[in-house]
Structure formats: structure tokens, C-alpha cells
Amino acid sequence: MTTMTAAAAPARPASARTMWAILALVLLADALDVIDATVTNIAALTIAGDLNGGPDLIKWLGTAYMLAMGVLLMVGGRLGDKYGQRRLFLVGMAGFTAASAVAGLAPGPAPLLAARAAQGAFGALLIPQGMGIMTRTFSRAMLTKAFGLFGPLLGVATIGGPALAGLIISADVLGLSWRPIFLINVVLGVAGLAVAVRILPRDDGDRATVVDVRGSALLAGAMLGLLYGLIEGSGDGWGTVPVVSVVAGLVFFAAFARRQSTASDPLLRPSLLRNRGFTSGLVVGLTVFAATIGLVYVLSLFLQEGLRASPRAAALTLLPLTVGVIGSAFAAIGGLVARLGRTLVFVGLAVILAGCGWVLALVAASGTGVGLWTLTPAFFVIGVGLGCCYSTIFDVALGDIDPAEAGSASGSLSSIQQLASAIGSAAVTSIFLRGSAEGLDRAMTTSLLVVLGLIALSVPLVALMPRRAAQ
């Protein structure tokens, strides 16, 4: 989730003790982001039931967070360059903490969704600053250690989000049910803010940095229009409102594309889109992330609604999927992606197709009578495929990028990842919920077929990506 901001003037290396404290702080911020992006996968049904939110709340709980994060992520990095990374880190951490408190105390669906969007927006201000601060203040040796710790910790956070949600809901701490999954952020956020005030180095930023606020606003309008239209259309039928919403989204997107070709410092450089390898990787990443993030969300709904699993049991059943992701991702970054390049993406997609086909066969044979532990081997296979893709698609997409454009390209791909997650979470969930009227086994089957189709469509595009990953 971390993006590289534009290069700032290098600062004097901090002491070893301060560098470790800064690293711990940055890791905490990134862990909070990863956990909050996944925590509602397990908690959504409980939250919707408690607040009488219905299907709309289920669809938007994760989408609101990821949409706000994706739209503002690149702008967050530019704001840090302009006004100072320390200042933006403090603003982001304070806002994220406050939004978490509102989410945990929300009396109804509307305040909760507003708080989730605020979490994503402030997270977009917070996350990009950590890498910039470390780059300015860490020695080369410390940077190497820091990069080595990001993967393991974020892997643990990925597991920890749904697992933590399942345990907290089952424990029903002080009778608060799901609310502590957000309120725990308040404790961690206040502690992190207190540390940040003391240890983060001061920087004034560069007021000459250009921030394309208009481009970001157009992108926000485009994504909101498209997402709202897709959710309403796939859930309630394609009436006037969803059609108008999608058309408005397309108009905003066209205006955003024009803005990128005319702005002096665009969010997405037009030259990147003329690079066939990068554009192919961007489309593959968009498709794969949208399909698979939506799939994981739907699997958690199927386990709880269709198989009557408790939140804790559902989290434990999905644990092999996350273990598969982490194991194969470490193998990929440990050397496989350097040796295999785009071939590893082909392998990952093939494994995902095999795992989804396996789940489809089990659901088709047994419906809602399929056992939880019967599904776990297939979930592990899906996870292995996801790990091969998640850690390599964007590395390979950057294989032919000019070094001068690497920062912009990397930031663009990070935003695309968040936006794709929002699209997939909303669209695939809408398909599942609409099909549930005909039976949850039928809804799961339809959702799996959609995911299989999207993954299959992305396979030929991998051949257009660079052969080798970026070094």
C-alpha cells in the first residue's frame, strides 16, 4: 500500500535509535491501513444486522474505504512534498484516529459509511509520507533492513484483519459486538500520534510542488458515478438512476483523461499510457485485483450466510487462503519474479483458475451442505495463485519504464490497486447478493463464474507485458 513520493531534499541520517522508532511508527501506520482494508470482510454481516443496514451497507463498507484511499493516494504524496511529510503524517494519523472513533461509535449506516470514507481519505494522506520520511533520514543499510521488514509485517496484518474481527466479534467485549474492531484504532492511533510528534524530523516541504486537485476531483466523480451505477444496476436492475450514474461516471472519466493530457503536472503521465507493457499490466492488475478482492469478500459472506459459520469460524476457514498468499508472495519476491518475470503471472492466474474451479465443483456438488474444512484446500490453492500475482503483476508492469518515470508509475499502480479493490468489492458483492434470492449456492456459483471469466479474459493480456520485472 505504500507509495513513493517525489524526492525530497535528503536529511541528515538520524541516530540508530531514532531510525528504529521511525520504522516502527511507519510500520504501525501501514498495518492499520491493511487491517482496516480487510477487517470488514468478516464483520460486514454482523455490522449490517446490528445497524439494520441491509445489503447496501454490506456492499459499501469496504468500498467506501478503498474508493477514498484510491482516489486520494497520489494527491496525498504530492501534498506531503508540498507542505512537509511530517505535517501530513500528523494530519493523516490524527484524522484516521478520529474517523475510527466515529466508525466505532456510529449509531447508523450513514455515519458509519461516512467514517469509513474518512478513514480512507486520511489514510491516503498518511501512508505515502512514511516512505518519504525514511528515504530522507535513513542510512542505506537501515533502508535495506526496513524494506525487508515490510513484507512480513504486512503479511501478518493481512491475516490479522479478518482473524482479529472474528475473534473480537465472538468475544463480544463489554457487549460492544463489532465496535472494538474500529475503536482499537483509537488506542493505537493516539499512541502513534504521540510518538510521531516527538521523533519525526521537521521538514518545510517545497511549496513549488504542483498538486492536481482538479484531476483528483474528476477521478473521484468518475469512480463514484461508475461504482454507484454498477452497484445499483447489478443489485436492483438497470433503471434510470444506475444508467445515468454510469454515463456521468464515463463523462467525468473522459474529462479526467483530457486533464491528464493538458495538466502541467498530471496525476498519471500520458507517456506511461503509451507504454504497451505498462498499460497491459495496469489493465491486468485492475482486472485481477477487482475480481479476486471481490471473491474473497463474497467467500466470507457465503461461509457466514450459506454455511452458517460464526465470524470466528469463517475467519479460520479463510486462514489457509491468506497463508497461501503470504507463502507464494515471499517465494516470488525471494527470486522467482526475477527469474520468471511475466511467466510467474501466467502461473499465478492458472493456479487461481484451478482453485476457483475446485470451489465451484464443491459448491455445485454439495451446495450449502459443503463442509467448512472441505473448502480449505481449495482456498489454499487460490491463495497461492493470488500471492504469485499480487507480488508480481506491478513489478513486471514496471519492467520497461524509464527510471525517471518510476515514481509516478509506482504511485499510479498503487492507486489503481485500491480503486480495483473498491470496484471488485462492490460489483462482485452486488452480483452475489442479487443472486441470493435464488439460493446462496446459486449466488456463489454465479459469483465464481464471473470471477473465472474475468481472470480468463486477463490471461492473453499478460503476453503484452514486459518479459522481465523491474530491478
The tens digit of pLDDT for each residue in 217-245 reads 898 888 888 888 877 776 667 788 889 99
Averaged pLDDT, 82-110: 94
pLDDT score of 182 more than 50:
yes
Cβ neighbour number for residue 453 with a 10 Å cutoff:
11
Distance CA 226, CA 354 (A): 31
Q: Give residue 257's pLDDT.
A: 85
CB 229 within 8 A of CB 245: yes
Domain ranges of the chain: 1-210, 213-264, 269-471
What digits encode the pLDDT tens for the residues 374-425? 999 999 999 999 988 877 888 888 888 777 676 667 767 777 777 787 788 7
Query: Which residues, other chains included, contact 186 with Cβ-Cβ below 8 Å and sequence gap of 6+?
Result: 97, 100, 101, 104
Grid cell for residue 270? 500520458
4 pLDDT band (50/70/90 cuts)?
Answer: very low
**Sequence-ordered alpha helix ranges (H) in 52-179:** 54-83, 85-105, 109-137, 140-171
Q: What are phi and psi of 405, to 5 degrees?
A: -105, 5
CA dihedral 223, 224, 225, 227 (to 10 degrees): 80
269-471: CATH number: 1.20.1250.20
CA gap 177, 190 in Å, rounded = 22
Does 453 score more than 90 pLDDT?
yes
Instruction: Give the SS3 label for residue 371.
Output: coil
What region, left, alpha or beta, does residue 138 occupy, with left being phi > 0 and alpha being psi -120 to 50 degrees?
beta
Burial class of residue 257, CB neighbours in 10 A (0-12, 13-18, 19+): middle
- Over residues 57-74, mean pLDDT: 84
How far, CA to CA in Å, does 29 sit from each of 68, 122, 161, 242, 283? 17, 11, 14, 36, 29
Residue 223: its pLDDT value, please?
Answer: 84
Residue 142, SS3?
helix
Q: Which residue has the cell 531534499?
A: 9
Mean per-residue pLDDT, 329-344: 83
- pLDDT computed for residue 178 by the predictor: 92
How far apart (Å, rounded) are the C-alpha atoms in residues 57 and 70? Answer: 20
pLDDT digits 0-9 by tens, 129-176 = 888 888 888 887 887 777 766 655 665 676 667 778 888 888 888 889
Range in 158-162, 172-176, 266-270, 279-283 the model is least confident about: 158-162
pLDDT in the model for residue 254: 92
Specify the amino acid at residue 283: V
- Tell me the average pLDDT across 179-201: 93
pLDDT at 78 over 50: yes
Class of domain 1-210: mainly alpha
- What is the DSSP-derived secondary structure letter of residue 302? I
Q: Which helix (H) or strand (E) holds 349?
A: helix 342-366
Is residue 390 within 8 Å of 424, Cβ to Cβ?
A: no
Percent of all residues in the chain with a pLDDT value above 90, rounded to a whole number: 34
Q: How far apart are CA 442 and CA 237, in angstroms?
A: 18
Per-residue pLDDT tens over the stretch 103-124: 999 999 999 999 999 999 999 8
- pLDDT for residue 148: 64
Would you say 64 and 231 are in contact if contact means Cβ atoms under 8 Å apart?
no
E strands present in 126-235: none
Query: What is the arithmetic mean of pLDDT over 90-104?
Result: 96
Neighbours of 20 (CB within 10 A): 14
Q: Which residue has the higher pLDDT, 16 or 195?
A: 195
Mean residue pLDDT across the chain:
85
Contact 286, 416 (CB under 8 A): yes
Q: Cα–Cα distances in Å, from 346 out to 336, 385, 405, 460?
A: 13, 10, 26, 9
Averaged pLDDT for residues 75-102:
92
CA distance 24 to 128: 15
- Residue 67 clears pLDDT 90, i.e. is over it: no
CA distance 368 to 379: 16
Q: Would you place residue 346 in the very low, low, confident or very high pLDDT band (cuts 50, 70, 90)?
A: very high
Are 1-210 and 269-471 the same fold in CATH? yes
Q: Which of 424, 447, 451 is nearest to 434 (CA)?
A: 447
CA pair distance 432, 227, nearest whole angstrom: 16
Confidence band of 250 (pLDDT split at 50, 70, 90): very high
**pLDDT higher than threshold 60 for residue 12:** no
Check residues 248 and 16 and name the one with the higher pLDDT.
Answer: 248
Q: What is the pTM of this model?
A: 0.82
Bigger pLDDT: 262 vs 320: 320
pLDDT at 202: 86
Tell which wins on pLDDT, 11 or 82.
82
Whether residue 39 has pLDDT greater than 80: yes
Q: For 214, what's the count of Cα atoms within 13 Å in the CB-facing half-sphere?
A: 12
Between CA 407 and CA 393 the distance in angstroms is 16
Q: What is the pLDDT of residue 1?
A: 43
Confidence (pLDDT) at 8: 45
408/316: higher pLDDT: 316
Is it the case that residue 3 has pLDDT exceeding 50?
no
Cell representation of residue 210? 504542483
As a whole number of angstroms, the distance between CA 208 and CA 349 comes to 44
